[in-house]
């Protein structure tokens, strides 16, 4: 199992789409830095994230401090996205066999 991390906004980069093309069943995705913009319901990646979540049992996380820093906690986030703390990030990194960073 792999924890994928994406730190670029889907509004300006195609990294998330590339990640979702190769992400495996029961893998997880952690959005951080500007990658948290993908958690918005208005994100260009919203439909694809929801599809991967349902078809591949993809767990989707977003780093809460990054959401907060960008004023996104008060906006419409996708239902499949779970906001996590730095401690949760460390825990997730330990739970998965490897971490694949997309940057």
What is the set of domains in the chain, with CATH numbers? 2-102 (3.40.1260.10)
Mean per-residue pLDDT for 97-103? 94
Q: Lay out the sheet containing 59-63: strands in order across.
A: 81-84, 59-63, 28-31, 2-6, 98-102
Contact in structure between 73 and 67 (CB atoms under 8 Å) = yes
Model pLDDT, residue 76: 84
What number of CA atoms fall less than 13 Å from residue 77's CA on the CB side? 22
- pLDDT, one tens digit per residue, over 3-55 is 999 999 999 999 999 999 999 888 999 999 999 999 999 999 899 889 988 88
- pLDDT, one tens digit per residue, over 64-86 is 999 999 999 888 899 999 999 99
């Amino acid at each position: 199992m792999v924890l994928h991390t994406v730190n670029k906004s889907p509004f300006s980069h195609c990294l998330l789409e590339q990640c979702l093309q190769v992400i495996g069943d029961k893998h997880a995705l952690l959005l951080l830095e500007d990658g948290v913009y993908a958690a918005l319901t208005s994100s260009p990646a919203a439909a694809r994230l929801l599809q991967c979540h349902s078809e591949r049992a993809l767990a989707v996380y977003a780093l809460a401090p990054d959401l907060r820093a960008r004023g996104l906690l008060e906006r419409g986030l996708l239902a499949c996205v779970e906001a996590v703390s730095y401690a949760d990030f460390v825990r997730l990194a330990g739970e998965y066999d490897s971490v694949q960073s997309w940057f």
